[in-house]
Structure 1
Amino acid sequence: MTRTYVVTGAASGIGAATAELLRAQGHTVIGVDLGGVEVAGDLSTPAGRTAAAIAKTMAINYFGVTEFLTALLPKLSLADQPRAAVVSSMASLQPVSADLVDAALDGDESRALEIGDQLAVTAEGGFLNYSSSKRALSRWVRRESVSEAWAGAGIPLNAVAPGTVTTAMTAGLLASPEGLAQVDAAVPMPLNYHQPASSIAELLVWLTSPANTHMAGQTIYCDGGADAVLRGDDIWSWNDAPRD
């Protein structure tokens, strides 16, 4: 059965790989990006999100994604076996700015961008912008996935979280020994090391296929084992009864 997919960021990286895979399977793809695709739209601005649905990190990674999906929801609800999946990151497991995450989840974009600008004056703070945007996105997916708007409409909503993906965006950082060492220390990947964009595309395609009927609110860490290394083997005992 052929389906119609809307793929954001379709001009490069994971988005381009996903669009290519879907087209190879015979599906219709409506690519959304700044240019070179079917629909040109700047998801870093409210006007751009609205136009795309009909360069700041938080604006793109969080508000651009969540508001775009929300704008598409009425159309998705009318589709046959609709699905939605977004790209988070294993950075969602790393240190964040709690204030920035809270502002995002509260829908306060101006406050979020203000905090982001304050953080961006240092390299460490700049990374907090990124990790906070991905933490907020994964939390939004978890919260919204079980709501009446999504689960009530029978629409699975999930996220994928890559490790270090080899794209044009990461090529410069990975090219230097210092950059490579920094990345590998933060994102240890014992299984097959750095990953191609196609490894995430394959997962996104399954999550948005009719085969996915009951997965909701999950952030799936397709990251070469980085999550398992960093969080260890026990992520369940938070709800266990206290031991004597």
Structure 2
Amino acid sequence: MKRTYLITGATKGIGRATAERLAAAGHGVVGIARQGDDPDFPGTLVSADLGDRDQAEAVFSDLAGRFDFDGLVNNVGMIKPQALGEIDLDTFDAIHALHLHPAIQASQALLPGMKERGWGRIVNVSSLTIFGLPGRTAYGSAKAAMVNFTRTWALELARTGITVNAIAPGPIETELFRANNPEGSDREAAYLAMVPMDRLGEPREIAATLEFMLGEDSGYMTGQTICVDGGASVGRAAF
């Protein structure tokens, strides 16, 4: 069955890989990104600064009126590492706002239509950093809040036909990862040392799990956070 999905942070990394996978499966995709001028995007692409609360509210309201959305991927985010002793509260607040406000706004905008149709999928993109990582006070706590959103909304919507789940990727080869961890750097090596598989994940591997979470066969799974991380959340490999 053809479905229609909304993806925030849709032009790069996990968002882009998910858009391409869903479109290849015959689904309709609407993406939101700060830069919406990508002619190769596999669907409808809308330009919006989701860090602007009023602009985000207007965009989500407009899209909810134009499309009958069956699912949502709350993926937009940013990383600005800061260790304790160097945490700037304005930066901390901005990171939380960009991760959490659009997730709430988008979910609330799409919720009435999903309830009316008795079917829906909300997937929140969290992160392995929910288990703790140096320099990730803001990012990790925002991603932990996404897990709380997932569990809370799953309970609230359990009898509506709408499921809510989260995915917690480990280190993935994306533009965002590379901006903070150049290839061959000590930072990259530190991440690889955490992963028993000894490699970075690929966006397409996260997209594959997201496709399942958004699909017909995941209807009895809700409130769950799935780690896709090369085993990093389990422990270190024995060599």
Q: Which amino acid aligns with 1:63?
A: H
Distance in structure 2 (CA, Å) of the matches to 1:129 and 1:155: 29
Match of 2:29 in 1: 29
User: 2:191 matched to 1:183?
Assistant: yes
The percent identity for this pair of structures is: 32
1:153 to 147, 157, 160: 160
How far residue 218 of structure 1 moved from its aligned partner, in angstroms, is 0.7
More helix by share: 1
Distance in structure 2 (CA, Å) of the matches to 1:77 and 1:210: 16
TM-score norm. by structure 2 comes to: 0.76
TM-score norm. by structure 1 comes to: 0.75
Q: Which amino acid aligns with 2:104?
A: T
Distance in structure 2 (CA, Å) of the matches to 1:214 and 1:48: 35
Distance in structure 2 (CA, Å) of the matches to 1:178 and 1:48: 39
How far residue 87 of structure 1 moved from its aligned partner, in angstroms, is 0.5
Distance in structure 1 (CA, Å) of the matches to 2:198 and 2:191: 15
Distance in structure 2 (CA, Å) of the matches to 1:42 and 1:68: 13
Match of 2:105 in 1: 67
Which runs of no fewer than 5 residues in structure 2 stay unpaired? 37-43, 62-77, 79-93
How far residue 145 of structure 1 moved from its aligned partner, in angstroms, is 0.8
Distance in structure 2 (CA, Å) of the matches to 1:26 and 1:192: 34
Match of 1:94 in 2: 132
* Alpha carbons 2:50, 2:98 under 8 Å: kept: yes
Match of 1:48 in 2: 55
More strand by share: 2
Match of 2:150 in 1: 141
How far residue 139 of structure 1 moved from its aligned partner, in angstroms, is 1.1
How far residue 192 of structure 1 moved from its aligned partner, in angstroms, is 5.9
Distance in structure 2 (CA, Å) of the matches to 1:43 and 1:152: 30
Distance in structure 1 (CA, Å) of the matches to 2:106 and 2:149: 13
How far residue 80 of structure 1 moved from its aligned partner, in angstroms, is 5.8
Q: Which amino acid aligns with 2:165?
A: N
Report the CA distance shift for 1:177/1:20 in structure 2 as closer, same or farther (over 3 A).
same
Larger radius of gyration, structure 1 or 2? 1
Distance in structure 1 (CA, Å) of the matches to 2:192 and 2:101: 29
Which runs of no fewer than 5 residues in structure 1 stay unpaired? 96-122, 231-244
Cα shift readout 1:200-232 (whole Å, capped 9, x = no counterpart): 1111111011111111111100111011117xx
Match of 1:212 in 2: 218
Match of 2:64 in 1: none
